[in-house]
Amino acid sequence: MDARYDLAGRKAIVTGGAGGLGRGIAAGLRDAGATVELWDSDRVKLEAAAAELGVAARQVDITNAAAVDAAAAAAFTTHGRVDILVNNAGILGEVKPIWQTDPRNFEAVLRVNLFGTYLVSRALLGSMRMQNPRAAIGGHPLRGHVVNIASIQGKEGMALAAAYSASKAGVIALTKSTAKETARDGIVVTAITPAAAETAMAKEISAERRVDILSRIPMGRFVEVDEVARMVLWLASDECSFSTGGIFDLSGGRATY
Ligand SMILES: NC(=O)c1ccc[n+]([C@@H]2O[C@H](COP(=O)([O-])OP(=O)(O)OC[C@H]3O[C@@H](n4cnc5c(N)ncnc54)[C@H](O)[C@@H]3O)[C@@H](O)[C@H]2O)c1
């Protein structure tokens, strides 16, 4: 991807970095000059992605607090700081009406998408807010950026995906809360709410549901991985300095609020 932002010297972590959007986001950050670490629980996919992108990898299950804390400590030991965190790891879970769903599925989806995002943020933000500011804007320090990958379904809700939608609504509220807590520390925390992208996650749904999802997007197409990466690049750059707590739409017109 054409690098349009200068992120030279930045240290970045992308969770779910072995997946479709994660690889695209990591490639964009790398091309802009950042040093990138992929965090993912799937060792085989992780090794392949790291080799493909030429970046570092750390196998971490983001639902395991001790493992996340250890990975965060190791990242700080390796790099001395973390400038960019992209909380991207997520799972879709079963696609069923709520009365047919398995409570263990609901718990698992919330556990990865919301609790995992919380654990990674918790493990890194304490140190990020104490690191040397990289810049000062308007007399205030700028220490880092966190970008959370939510979903349009977290804004609108979606039939047959209550757990997923609720988890992403939770990520939106987590983003706003974390942003308020770190505003004076110079950590800019935002989230994006993409519509459907043709990644592994999209392949988990039926052809009929794909048609239904596509019909809800006024532009009539899926979001490209590069389009997601480009928005994350802006949100992770110093150009994004006053939008903390912002939730950024990326849905081809499906939701414009
Ligand atoms: N694809 C879409 O249509 C779409 C739309 C909106 C939002 N999103 C969100 O974008 C993010 C990335 O999705 P994707 O489409 O690239 O999916 P993907 O399935 O290709 O990638 C998800 C990655 O997360 C990893 N992961 C899952 N559980 C984990 C855990 N416990 N610990 C660490 N890593 C874990 C997986 O191994 C995988 O590599 C997700 O949060 C998803 O909800 C996707």
Asked if 20 and 225 count as a contact pair (C-beta separation under 8 A), the reply is yes
Contacts of 220 (CB under 8 A, 6+ apart): 214, 252
Q: How far, in Å, CA of 132 to CA of 128, rounded?
A: 9
Instruction: Label residue 202 by pLDDT band (50, 70, 90).
Output: confident
d(CA 91, CA 105): 10
**Contact status, residue 210 vs residue 176, Cβ threshold 8 Å:** no
* Separation of alpha carbons 229 and 53, rounded Å: 14
Q: How many residues does this entry show for the chain?
A: 257
Q: Please, what are the domains in the chain? A: 11-249 (3.40.50.720)
Supply the DSSP symbol for 222: P
CA 88–ligand 1 middle distance (angstroms): 6
pLDDT-derived band at 176 (thresholds 50, 70, 90) equals very high
Ligand 1 close to Cβ of residue 64 (< 6 A):
no
Number of CB atoms found within 10 A of residue 175's CB: 25
Min mean pLDDT across 17-21, 78-82, 83-87, 198-202 is at 198-202
Report the atom number in ligand 1 closest to the C-alpha of 49.
39
Alpha-carbon distance of 247 to 85, in angstroms, equals: 16
Q: What is the mean pLDDT of residues 49-55?
A: 98
145-156 average pLDDT score: 98
Question: What pLDDT, on a 0 to 100 scale, did the predictor assign at position 3?
Answer: 60
202 touches ligand 1 (CB under 6 Å): yes
- pLDDT bucket at 216, cuts 50 / 70 / 90: very high
Answer yes or no: is pLDDT of 34 > 90: yes
Lowest-confidence region among 83-87, 136-140, 141-145, 224-228? 136-140
pLDDT of 254? 94
Tokens of 172: 């939106």
Nearest CA to ligand 1 atom 32: 61
Could you tell me which of 127, 198, 193 has the C-alpha nearest to residue 158? 193
Q: What is the mean pLDDT of residues 97-120?
A: 98
Burial of 122 by CB count in 10 Å (0-12 exposed, 13-18 middle, 19+ buried)?
Answer: middle
Cβ–ligand 1 distance for 90 under 6 Å, the answer yes
